[in-house]
Amino acid sequence: MKQLFIYAICLSAIFSFAQNAKIDSLTVRLAYQNQDSTKVETSLLLINELYKLQDYNKATLFIAQTSELSKSLNYTKGLAETSYIQALIYDAQNQQNKAVSNFELARDYFYNSKDTLGLAKVNNSLGVIEIERGNYTKGLQNSLSAISIFEEKDLKEELSKAYNSLAKAYFNTNKLEEALLYNKKALSVREELDDMKGMKNTLKNLGQLYAIKKDYRLSIDSYERMLKLLDKEEDKNLRGEIMTSLGKSYLAIDQLDKASDYLREGLDYSKANNDESGILKSLNAYADLNTRNRRLKLAENQLYQANELARKLKNDEELLYNLKLNRDLDEKRNFFEDAYNWQKQYFALKEKLDQQKLAEKAIPTREITEPKTIETPLISPEQKVNKDTLIDTEPQQSKKNTLLIYSLIAALVFAIALLIFSYLKGSKDSKEKKQFEKKNKKLAAKNMQLEEVNQVKDKLFSIVSHDLKDSISSIKAFLDLLKDGGISKEEFNDLIPELSENANNASSLLFNLLNWSKSQMQNLQPKPELFNIQEVFQIKISLIEKKVNDKGIILIDESRREFVFADRSMLEIVIQNLITNAVKFTGKGDVITVSNQDYNGKVLICVEDTGIGISEENQKKLFNAKKNFTTIGTENEKGTGLGLTICKDLVELNNGRIWVESTPNIGSKFFIELPKAALQE
């Protein structure tokens, strides 16, 4: 390996020396030549060598000198070639607007000198730029016009570039068969050129295309051929990506053992190289594999990590895949409500991505005009003047002037008539417009109100349904045990009090939900009344006693008899959500304390826990309706991310406020401040 490395360095040094010697030789030759077309040709050879070495500053200097000499000699070829190479330099420097202008100028010169090869090179370069910009139709037109000439003259380098750009354009316009065809052609040419980098890229493209077409065997073949070309040191990140892609293809044909080997290796490579994008793709694919193998807990952890990473990297495509996998996982675990939430997020993101793709396709393309006829290279296309417009006789000019005067008078009369008509019509339209705008404002206000109601309704049902699910699932579990003979009738009779309590809890929740929705959903106006907050605490604590005992949590009730003026149904939902959250984020030995006290003439309610706490960054997200922020509990309990948002809505509707004080690993305190009596108008 060491000998090969030294050999490569030697070859590079020899090649560099040879190139520098060639440049020196051309520079010396140029200095002794006369100011004629031969000097232009020598200068063009030198410019090409400098361009290959990426010495763009020197190349640009010689381009300016050569262009001036070509103009003085009326040498169209020199002007065409200098414009073309200058455009290539601008393109390499990502100055695409300047590149396009120079390509168009070069094309005009090539057209006038009837240089079909020059025209083809320019058209292909313009095609590549338009494809890079996303103007695929325009790019295809330009590149396709160049292909036949390159094929006829067997120009491998140009064909490689043209085939590759056409393949990309067809892929991005969803013409997969054409994309496959031109990728295959590109691979064939690049193999002839021994272009290792080009071969790797094309094989990767083929692997991706076959996977999209569900030809997974061919996809695997392309990726495995590519693996053989990868350098272990130079292509570490690429190797990790291809291992993951191979794993996904084997996964698609249910060869789970091979899929596991490749996915594991892909994840190891990505972690070793700290390639977050590769880690994300590997975690998603690995989670898919583990879901199929019924390793659901492992799949859940991997999907959680991948979800956070996708959002951090703003990788919407992988996030979409992650949401689909989360949905599939929860369906497998019979967590149908959670699966429904993932499904909603999936379709919302998919719609957003589809709209973005449509918007990209709708971006207006820059029109590339047909080549211009240039009468003399001395005059640039921008300076060209049509001499016919300067030669005219006086009688002709006089007739034109008379016609112009009549035209102006007719235009003036028409404009006055139009103004009068517009004024008369405008006064009538103005009244209709005002009435129309008034109706629109009313409709907009009504729509906004309906939308607000729908949002609160959706959030509310998501929260309450979680609690209903727990109670009903518990009842169903006991009944299933009895049906399957898991417990005797005597043992079942002993459980009847607990079943009755669960049924009462579910009934109470349903009653509160239906009562609240019936009375409040019309206009979101609370129905405040005076009620004892201690009673609410006692009822809500009874609902979560079993969960508290199961987790080994200590719950302390320090509430006291005190009257609050608020909508009781609304506040019950808030209190239940805060207590449930406290249970969710505490573990064995932790303490939850509920209390209330008089504070500045108002009631201050507090739900405190000694759980895992909340970071300062996450505290800012808790009450934000747009963030839909959620985290996993101490026993991997999952939430909707909507609870505290609806709590904030309901508290504020009752002229109160809600806030949090928390320290990570120490605990959290949620406070609610509410009036003790009706507010004076």
Residue 459 pLDDT greater than 60, yes or no: no
Q: What is the pLDDT of residue 462?
A: 57
Q: With pLDDT > 90 as the criterion, what percentage of the chain qualifies?
A: 12
Residue 202 pLDDT greater than 50, yes or no: yes
Tell me whether residue 228 is exposed, middle or buried, using C-beta atoms within 10 angstroms of its C-beta: 0 to 12, 13 to 18, 19 or more.
exposed
Residue 52 pLDDT greater than 90, yes or no: no
> Higher-confidence residue: 658 or 118?
658
Q: What is the pLDDT of residue 517?
A: 54
Pairing of strands 591-599, 554-558: parallel
Instruction: Say how many CA atoms lie within 13 Å of 519 toward its Cβ.
Output: 13
What letter does residue 390 receive in the DSSP assignment? G
Residue 288 to residue 310: CA distance in whole angstroms: 16
For residue 96, the one-letter residue type is Q
21 token code pair: 């010697």
Position 310 confidence tier, pLDDT thresholds 50, 70, 90? very high
Tell me if 301 is assigned to some domain.
yes
Phi, psi of 662 (to 5 degrees): -150, 150
> Higher-confidence residue: 368 or 405?
405
Tell me if 108 is assigned to some domain.
no
> Higher-confidence residue: 482 or 348?
348
Tell me if 75 is assigned to some domain.
no
Tell me if 585 is assigned to some domain.
yes
Q: Which of 92-101, 297-306, 454-463, 576-585 comes out lowest in average pLDDT?
A: 454-463
Task: Give the sign of the dihedral formed by CA 74, CA 75, CA 76, CA 81.
Answer: negative
H or E stretch at 511: helix 489-520
Estimate the share of the chain in helix, then strand, then coil, as percent rounded to the nearest 5: 70, 5, 20
Q: What is the mean pLDDT of residues 26-32?
A: 77
Q: What is the pLDDT of residue 141?
A: 77
- Model pLDDT for residues 505-530, shown as the tens digit of each residue: 666 556 555 544 544 444 557 888 99
Tell me if 397 is assigned to some domain.
no
CATH code of residue 275? 1.25.40.10
- Model pLDDT for residues 163-200, shown as the tens digit of each residue: 888 888 788 777 888 889 989 988 998 988 888 888 98
Residue 515 to residue 99: CA distance in whole angstroms: 69
Tell me if 147 is assigned to some domain.
no
- CA geometry: angle 498, 500, 506, nearest 5 deg: 105
Q: Which of 212-221, 252-261, 354-363, 618-627 comes out lowest in average pLDDT?
A: 354-363
- Model pLDDT for residues 322-366, shown as the tens digit of each residue: 999 999 888 888 887 788 888 889 888 888 888 776 665 544 443
Q: Which of 586, 566, 584 is nearest to 647 (CA)?
A: 566
Range of the domain at 329: 230-374
Overall pTM surpassing 0.85 (yes/no) = no
- Model pLDDT for residues 221-240, shown as the tens digit of each residue: 998 898 888 887 777 778 88
Tell me if 183 is assigned to some domain.
no
The winner for highest mean pLDDT among 93-97, 110-114, 531-535, 616-620 is 531-535
Q: What is the pLDDT of residue 312?
A: 92
Total H helices, total E strands in the chain: 24, 7
Q: Which of 183, 156, 146 is nearest to 167 (CA)?
A: 183
* Overall number of domains in the chain: 2
| 602-609, strands of its sheet edge to edge | 554-558, 591-599, 602-609, 667-675, 657-663
> Higher-confidence residue: 326 or 678?
326
Which of 348, 374, 400 marks a domain boundary? 374
How many CB atoms are located within 10 Å of the residue 204 CB?
Answer: 18
Tell me if 10 is assigned to some domain.
no
Q: Which of 2-6, 64-68, 498-502 comes out lowest in average pLDDT?
A: 2-6
Q: What is the pLDDT of residue 645?
A: 75
Which of 308, 341, 374 marks a domain boundary? 374
Mean pLDDT of the chain: 76
Q: Which of 213, 159, 210, 228 is nearest to 188 (CA)?
A: 159
Q: What is the pLDDT of residue 227?
A: 86
Q: What is the pLDDT of residue 1?
A: 39
CATH code of residue 664? 3.30.565.10
The answer to whether 525 and 566 are in contact (CB under 8 A) is no
- The residues, ordered by sequence, that sit 6+ positions from 137 with a Cβ below 8 Å of its Cβ are 173, 365
Residue 195 to residue 163: CA distance in whole angstroms: 14
308, 314, 315, 320 alpha-carbon torsion, rounded to 10°: 70
Q: What is the pLDDT of residue 117?
A: 83
Q: Give the residues across from 596 on adjacent strands.
A: 605
Position 419 confidence tier, pLDDT thresholds 50, 70, 90? low
Which of 332, 353, 374 marks a domain boundary? 374
448 token code pair: 């906004």
